[in-house]
Amino acid sequence: MEKIHLLFCVLGLVFASQAFAMEAYKPGEVWDDAEGNPINAHGGGMLYHEGAYYWYGEMKTGKTWMPKSNASWGGSRVDVTGVSCYSSRDLLNWKPEGNVLPANQDDPTHDLHTSKVVERPKVIYNRATGKFVMWMHIDSMNYGKASVGVAISDSPTGPFTYLYSIRPNKGVWPKNADEADKQSDPPAHYVRDHEKGQMARDMTLFVDDDQRAYLFYSAEENATHHIALLNDDYTQLTGQYKRVFIDRSMEAPAVFKRDGRYYFIASGCTAWHPNPARSAVADSIWGPWTELGNPCVGKNSDVTFYSQSTYVLPIQGKDDAYIFMADRWNPKNLEDSRYVWLPIEFNGDRPEVRWQDKWSTAWFDAQPSQ
């Protein structure tokens, strides 16, 4: 009887794993992890390390509510829980690795306190130090702090140790500024932020082929983007930065490289509500950047298929294969926000994203050379 009982237990585990196995992406639908629970990794980013992908994101858990300070622009929230991590080798089935940067429950002054804002975590690996480095948007409940935070770990699955937050480039003018940046009458907010550090909200990280790493972030009340070079260990800024997309009001940046050229995808600034995506291309990370318009094509492209960009993922081992990762926010129930992953194709140098009800990475194998 014991052997029969054991056999049924084993069969039960097999059937359970098969029940939760994913075979294709279904954008906008509930996406369960390997344990059968909805994946909770919003505003996230991806790291590929030693044959595995690691997906980091905001944990949206608990009641969605509206602080009075945010009511005018619709800034609903859930209390901070931490940063989640999931691992996968096929980009479809994700093992939960837990809360790798938990919220602080006790100290209201701490950057990670439940009352604060922790958004858009991105993790990169430093080959020289062997450390995994996370940068994220750190803010106060009313979004007045407008800073970036840094944490490090010896493992991709954490735990991460929080280091500090900062408003970037305090007291520093762009070191690599061209004449167009040296305005005789720069905006008042830029002069103000020069003295106490530049505002930083939505952000992403990009590591180039030479292992130099860059922070892209919305600055100057989200009106202008900044690109800043990180130091050799990726935990600090060097002071070298540039203002780009001046007065274009973009957030949710995603950056990738293809055939030696740099691509940028972002959204407009309409809080939780979707809007047309933006795209741009440059021959240098510092620009000049040429805007290419909305990369989304077809029905609902004017609202980015009811989603907002968060990351562009190059697929390892596939030629010219990139996934557009986006969040479909539910501002009335943020815990029920969904994910929209779609393949990117190219029309010349222009990235294009089309809706797919159901697809897998085999889609790339079926496409003609781009």
Name the residue among 94, 89, 86, 95 with its Cα closest to residue 121: 86
The distance from CA 275 to its chain's CA centroid, rounded to whole angstroms, is: 17
The pLDDT, as a whole number, for residue 232 is 98
Residue 189 burial by CB count (10 A; 0-12/13-18/19+): exposed, middle or buried? middle
Q: Which fold has domain 41-365?
A: Tachylectin-2; Chain A (2.115.10)
What pLDDT is recorded for position 273?
Answer: 95
What is the DSSP pairing of strand 296-297 with strand 350-354? parallel
pLDDT at residue number 9: 47
CA distances (Å), origin 316, targets 47, 51, 258, 361:
11, 9, 13, 11
Give the global pTM. Answer: 0.93
Which candidate, 236, 195, 202, places its Cα nearest to that of 218?
202
Quote the tokens at residue 97: 């690795």
Contact assessment for residue 304 and residue 275, using Cβ atoms and an 8 Å cutoff: yes
Q: Hey, what amino acid is at 296?
A: C
The CA distance from 255 to 204, in Å, is: 8
Q: What is the pLDDT of residue 137?
A: 98
CA distance 48 to 316: 8
Per-residue pLDDT in tens (0 to 9) along the chain, 370 residues: 554 444 444 444 443 444 468 899 999 999 999 999 999 999 999 999 999 999 999 999 999 999 999 999 999 999 999 999 999 999 999 999 999 999 999 999 999 999 999 999 999 999 999 999 999 999 999 999 999 999 999 999 999 999 999 999 988 877 655 544 555 567 777 888 888 899 999 999 999 999 999 999 999 999 999 999 999 999 999 999 999 999 999 999 999 999 999 999 999 999 999 999 999 999 999 999 999 999 999 999 999 999 999 999 999 999 999 999 999 999 999 999 999 999 999 999 999 999 999 999 999 998 876 5
* All structural domains of the chain with their residue ranges: 41-365
